[in-house]
Amino acid sequence: MATFKTLKDNTPRDRARALRRNDTDAEARLWNALRARRLGGWRWRRQVPKGPFIVDFLCVEAGLVVELDGGQHSEQVAYDTRRTAYLEGLGLRVIRFWNSAVLTNREGVCDTILDACGGEHPSVGPG
């Protein structure tokens, strides 16, 4: 029996769920470092719909979006520029990393992300 997709299956929320189920190696490695407030106490969400786009990682408190780019992004510079402009119009800052950077230097990527957040989360106290 054939199954038919409904219009609901094509919503940004449904696409975000599918992306979470099928993450790349780089996304999985970075998510492991960000999830459960592991990076400086900041809360992160992954594959979050924002208007017509789905952002890879979002920290609402810091107003920061982290995007991971594979090789296809070198061919879609104009699209990425429009996407960044849209997100910045929502008051978000966007930083991008190549997948290869996450796979070879996750600690350095995490340090850069933590700096972009402003350091340790204000609720994280000493000791």
The domain spanning residue 75 has which CATH number?
A: 3.40.960.10
| Structural domain includes residue 127 | no
pLDDT surpasses 80 at 67: yes
pLDDT surpasses 90 at 49: yes
- Alpha-carbon span 77 to 7, nearest angstrom: 30
Task: Supply the pTM of this predicted model.
Answer: 0.84
Domain, as residue range, for 39: 29-117
Residue ranges of alpha helices (H) inside the chain are: 12-21, 25-34, 77-89, 99-104, 106-117
pLDDT given for residue 77 in this prediction: 86
| Structural domain includes residue 81 | yes
Give the distance, in angstroms, between the CA of residue 81 and the centroid of all CA atoms in the same chain: 16
Q: Of residues 111 and 76, which shows the higher confidence score?
A: 111
| Structural domain includes residue 16 | no
Q: Which residues contact 88 (CB under 8 A, 6 or more apart)?
A: 94
pLDDT surpasses 60 at 73: no
Give the chain's mean pLDDT.
88
| Structural domain includes residue 73 | yes
- Dump pLDDT digits (tens) for 16-37: 677 777 789 999 999 999 999 9
- The single-letter DSSP state of residue 12 is H
